[in-house]
Structure 1
């Protein structure tokens, strides 16, 4: 071997050792850097005419397992979803309170029922009356507060979707830019490991928010798409579009998520990640709880009349009215009432009098031809308003304030004086107020939810703090029922029919306290499972990351051993260079 060839070999060894030492030093200094993977400096032996001619350093690459990285991203998406669901369910559990006695809501219902029972035995007791009012107000305020908390959580969840979409868009743009840098460096034969590490961090952040799939082209470019096959990054990155709502109404769903503003909602395609968890929580979990609270509020209102089964405000809908519907709810979607038990009759300008205008047993004929027989009269009604108990109604009629049905004949004889019109129940006979029961559509029979739990309140006529009097609770000479306290107490102890399966609480028969307990218990079961799922997923992802670190991470001890090896190689190559230099000097000295 010539001295020149030997010198070139030694110098190439110096360069190779120097390059390797630089890579090893970078590995050691970044051993704890998040997302950093071990870099490797490959070297190739060079020959010339069958003889060794030194070593050449090739492009530095990173030591990774792409299949492992895909699996980690997949499980990271699941972790993002379970974490969101668990966080919200813990908030819901806090809102409900302890599961014993149905939580805050069940305790408030039980306290109200206890007060009603006490008042029903001593209706003349002013302290018992005030206690009922106080416990009723506590119940309605509890429902108001819980309804508001549910609204706040739904609004927060919908806003978090907006934050997640913004983060996804930012990282998609970063992947696009890094793809360009990587393909350029790859074409020039330059190292791309650090750029790919940064790109993987961006992909991990995307995966936290939504489930994605990826594949790497031979050019080093990473293509990103959704699990359903929609392209997110392929050359250029798309942008997800989302309009963050200011507040979420009771019927609102998480707004549409589109790609590049196109009119295609891809919200249903999110199955994992934080966005999927938020959509499920807002549109299903929290919406279900709102429905349960509103169903309970509607039943409390619907069953709190001083006499049960009276004609209520106009209602249109199927017989399967939610929890605690009145007996007079129309049995068909036409809105025609065919089987009321009680009628409220209003007469303008004069009064209707028992023994003068009608008697018990009289047959009434209405302006639409329907007939009914008077069984009893509520003598507690206001002077211009009379409540009849009727039987054997034929024909049916609509309750309408714009075109009321009126009494035209009594026992076949025309009723003189002003018209006597059928009306809705006088609101003064309701224990609660602030509830809208007129939310069925007569055309489709569809249910349009109202946030009644947020607005239910004790009727001001019964509340001394609002100018009312609690003594109205003790009206005892009702010919149809006992006093209102007893009527309500009986209602609270009776099983009520739940026609709607909402939020996981099955339809069936419940007491009010039992329904509240079912609400809390159902959430406790779901919350327990969510906590277990989230805990498992955290440990699973941590286990995968640990396995990945063994393959891709920097082992400092191993790197230090390599450092010593290449230091020695560098020293040896340097010694060869020195020796050859001395030999050249000797040869040059001989020639001279």
Structure 2
């Protein structure tokens, strides 16, 4: 071996040791830098024609562990999802107040029934009536406030989705730029670890927003895809696209989030395969968790209003009101009257409560009698007005109206032995003739229609359905146009279920025994349906198809629809606390100011069994208002505790994964000091070898001289 070769070998060793020392010093200086991954300089021997010729630094790399990295990114995405769900759902729970407190929504309901019970004991007390009306209005105002705040939470979540998407797009751009720097350094053999460290920090941030998969590129840098395989970063950066437009009434239908993949520019839905990350948590809260709570609140509020109206329609104020105007039933009078059974009485009474005229109506499905004279739904108004010249009956805009004159009033009472009924509601209750709680649109969807009923929606009118999966990801938007042949409910249901022009590919509609139009989605889990746009209008009432049958998001927005009837709110003496007693002798008052039987019915409304529809992922059931409210409060509390526990568990798992990754990838001062000593010794050894070779040169030169 020549002295020149020895010098070269020693020089390469000294240069390599110096590079190693530089790597160690860089690691030590970044020991407290968050997210810093220690560098490792890999050495390799140099050979020429099979002979060792020294050593070199083959590459400088990061001390990464792909398994620990994947575990950290996955757990970080889970923690991001659960943390934001808990944060926002905790806000929703707080809207209802402490169930054990004096001002919670559920406590206000108990207070209302307590006040109504006291009013039954003192029906002549103006203060008691005022208190009952005020507490009822306060309860419905509170329901409206909570519903509005739930929607506000949804909109806040949607705003955070928009902000998160902007952040993600910024991260994707920076990661793609660093890919180019890393590839350039890799090709030239330069140290790319600085760019790699910066890129890994950005990837860690990205993983908090969504689940991602990382693949190393052969030319340096990384390729990033979503958990479902959509390309986010390759040679160029992809982009998330989201349009926030799309709010409809109290229930908001939000647009989908798309990924514009780099290179091709193809747009594909992000939400279809998204399983974790802050974006998933926000979507889950916005599209599933919050709507479910809103649906249950609406169902409870609707049944509360209905039970109060049930009791109020069975009662009458004293003196009886000069007119009664019903609610908009969303159908023609003939359709509404068809299907009634049982008996009811409409009476005209004077200011003292003495009956002046009465019409005893007996319903028998498609026919009826008025004071024993045969009639039918088509001629009801004409025959009723003929039987009671002291009262005028009319029907317009879906509302039935009775009017009297001369200081008289009108009262309605069902037969005790054979009460009138349709879909479980008496005549006055079904038409809302003496409702305590009013609403601007239909809130009860048991219409009583049958397959033969004429629905009243003109051909050519349309509405647009949106179908989503169980996680809220959009499947398809589909416009439905009422065909000219579908004049009855049977024809309408068949047209809706048409697999070519209807929604038959995604689910099916059916008309229940109570006249409710029920949608059942296809698939497992089944597809969900909402209404994006509805321009239909029922001829007799002006209500839309979605309003009449509660399609799409209409059901979840009902909690904001209720208020105490305006004339009762301004004058509590109009509160119906007595009952029309038709068993008294002629000339004897059938109504009394001191009668509290109607108030007792109002007070007992909370314990009366009623049928609750499916809402918020909970199947329909028969229960009382107080029991349903208690179950709802418990379910909301349990859900809040579940999200809190899930957030704590996911955070703990992420911290553990991060700790293990840091212990492997982070800088250990003791190890680095050992390496520093080792490389110092290697440097010294190479220097001594150079010195020895130099001395040998000097000796040889001296011999030549």
TM-score with structure 1 length normalisation?
A: 0.80
Q: Is the 8 A contact 1:254 1:279 kept in 2?
A: no
Q: Which residue of 2 aligns with 1:493?
A: 607
SS at match of 2:254: coil
Q: Is the 8 A contact 1:473 1:484 kept in 2?
A: no
Quick check: 1:22 aligned with 2:19?
no
Residue by residue over 1:67-105, the C-alpha shift from the partner in whole angstroms, topping out at 9 and shown as x without a partner, is 321232222222222112221222222222234489812
Q: Which residue of 1 aligns with 2:394?
A: 421
Q: Is the 8 A contact 1:505 1:518 kept in 2?
A: no
Quick check: 1:408 aligned with 2:408?
no
Q: Is the 8 A contact 1:40 1:62 kept in 2?
A: yes
SS at match of 1:269: coil
Q: Distance in 1 between matches of 2:390 and 2:580?
A: 27
Quick check: 1:430 aligned with 2:435?
yes
Q: Is the 8 A contact 1:407 1:415 kept in 2?
A: no
Q: Distance in 2 between matches of 1:364 and 1:43?
A: 99
Q: Distance in 2 between matches of 1:371 and 1:247?
A: 46
Deviation (angstroms), 1:118: 0.3
Residue by residue over 1:291-332, the C-alpha shift from the partner in whole angstroms, topping out at 9 and shown as x without a partner, is 122222222333333224999523359xxxxxxxxxxx99x9
Q: Which residue of 1 aligns with 2:61?
A: 61
Deviation (angstroms), 1:246: 8.9
Deviation (angstroms), 1:589: 5.1
Alignment of 1:74-153 (within 5 A): 74-100=74-100, 104-153=104-153
After superposition, the Cα gap between the structure-2 partners of 1:588 and 1:75, relative to the gap in structure 1 and judged at 3 Å, is same
Q: Which residue of 2 aligns with 1:447?
A: 550
Instruction: Decide which of 314, 324, 327 is 1:313's aligned counterpart.
Output: 327
Q: Distance in 2 between matches of 1:8 and 1:410?
A: 119
Deviation (angstroms), 1:345: 8.5
Deviation (angstroms), 1:536: 1.5
Deviation (angstroms), 1:203: 2.4
Q: Distance in 1 between matches of 2:571 and 2:391?
A: 33
Q: Which residue of 2 aligns with 1:373?
A: 370
Q: Which residue of 2 aligns with 1:303?
A: 307
After superposition, the Cα gap between the structure-2 partners of 1:145 and 1:410, relative to the gap in structure 1 and judged at 3 Å, is closer
SS at match of 2:214: strand
Q: Is the 8 A contact 2:346 2:359 kept in 1?
A: no
Alignment of 1:173-572 (within 5 A): 173-245=173-245, 249-260=249-260, 265-305=269-309, 306-308=312-314, 312-316=326-330, 337-339=338-340, 359-361=358-360, 370-374=367-371, 395-396=376-377, 406-409=380-383, 420-422=393-395, 423-424=399-400, 429-437=434-442, 442=455, 443=492, 445=517, 446-448=549-551, 449=554, 451-463=557-569, 468-473=570-575, 475-476=577-578, 478-479=580-581, 484-500=598-614, 502-572=615-685
Q: Distance in 2 between matches of 1:369 and 1:458?
A: 34
Q: Which residue of 1 aligns with 2:450?
A: none
Q: Distance in 2 between matches of 1:208 and 1:485?
A: 57
Structure having the larger proportion of residues in strand: 2
Q: Is the 8 A contact 2:59 2:189 kept in 1?
A: yes
Residue by residue over 1:386-438, the C-alpha shift from the partner in whole angstroms, topping out at 9 and shown as x without a partner, is xxxxxx997546xxxxxxx6532369x78879973244368893323345226
SS at match of 1:544: helix
After superposition, the Cα gap between the structure-2 partners of 1:256 and 1:582, relative to the gap in structure 1 and judged at 3 Å, is same
The answer for unaligned runs of 5 or more in structure 2 is 316-323, 403-431, 448-454, 456-491, 494-516, 518-548, 583-594
After superposition, the Cα gap between the structure-2 partners of 1:336 and 1:476, relative to the gap in structure 1 and judged at 3 Å, is closer
The answer for unaligned runs of 5 or more in structure 1 is 318-328, 348-352, 376-391, 398-404
SS at match of 1:236: coil
Q: Is the 8 A contact 1:171 1:206 kept in 2?
A: yes
Deviation (angstroms), 1:252: 1.7
TM-score with structure 2 length normalisation?
A: 0.68
Alignment of 1:573-588 (within 5 A): 573-585=686-698, 587-588=700-701
Deviation (angstroms), 1:364: 10
After the TM superposition, which of the residue ranges 424-433 and 484-493 deviates more from structure 2?
A: 424-433
After the TM superposition, which of the residue ranges 1-10 and 303-312 deviates more from structure 2?
A: 303-312
Q: Is the 8 A contact 2:611 2:621 kept in 1?
A: yes
Residue by residue over 1:543-579, the C-alpha shift from the partner in whole angstroms, topping out at 9 and shown as x without a partner, is 2222222322211110011112212322333343344
After superposition, the Cα gap between the structure-2 partners of 1:355 and 1:73, relative to the gap in structure 1 and judged at 3 Å, is closer
Q: Is the 8 A contact 1:109 1:512 kept in 2?
A: no
Deviation (angstroms), 1:8: 2.0
Residue by residue over 1:359-403, the C-alpha shift from the partner in whole angstroms, topping out at 9 and shown as x without a partner, is 4547899xx99533359xxxxxxxxxxxxxxxx997546xxxxxx
Q: Is the 8 A contact 1:316 1:438 kept in 2?
A: no
